[in-house]
């Protein structure tokens, strides 16, 4: 078995506490999180309904830029932390035949 090549990139992780947010409103709130503007770019959001928490993944110059962008988009943010995104190159993964 061949070990996949890994790549990493810095990003910002936002943490949001969404108490009592009904399941139907999670997508609406996530959409607001995704509507940040330059120089910040939204990559993905992970929602953990049982903990009433969401985590956003962003690129941008600084944590303060991410905080400002999220405040302007509407959902606000509880915390922004530096993080790394580590992924495997798909073409390196073994294929099943």
CA distances from 69 to 24, 30, 58 (A): 24, 14, 10
**Rounded distance, CA 45 to CA 70, Å?**
13
Residue-wise pLDDT for 5-24, tens only, equals 888 889 999 998 877 766 66
| Contact by Cβ (8 Å): 20, 52 | yes
Task: Extract the tokens encoding 60.
Answer: 């941008």
Report pLDDT digits (tens) over 62-87: 999 999 988 888 767 889 999 998 88
Query: Helices marked H in the chain — which ranges?
Result: 23-34, 63-73
Structural domain boundaries in the chain: 7-48+62-92
Maximum CA pair distance of the chain?
Answer: 49
Confidence (pTM): 0.75
């Amino acid at each position: 078995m061949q070990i996949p090549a890994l790549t990493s990139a810095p990003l910002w992780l936002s943490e949001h506490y969404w108490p009592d947010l009904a399941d139907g409103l999670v997508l609406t709130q996530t959409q607001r999180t995704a509507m940040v503007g330059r120089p910040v770019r939204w990559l993905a959001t992970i929602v953990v309904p049982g903990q009433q928490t969401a985590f956003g993944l962003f690129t941008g110059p600084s944590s303060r830029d991410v905080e400002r962008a999220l405040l302007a988009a509407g959902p606000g943010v509880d915390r922004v932390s530096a993080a790394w995104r580590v992924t495997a190159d798909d073409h390196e993964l073994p294929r099943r035949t």
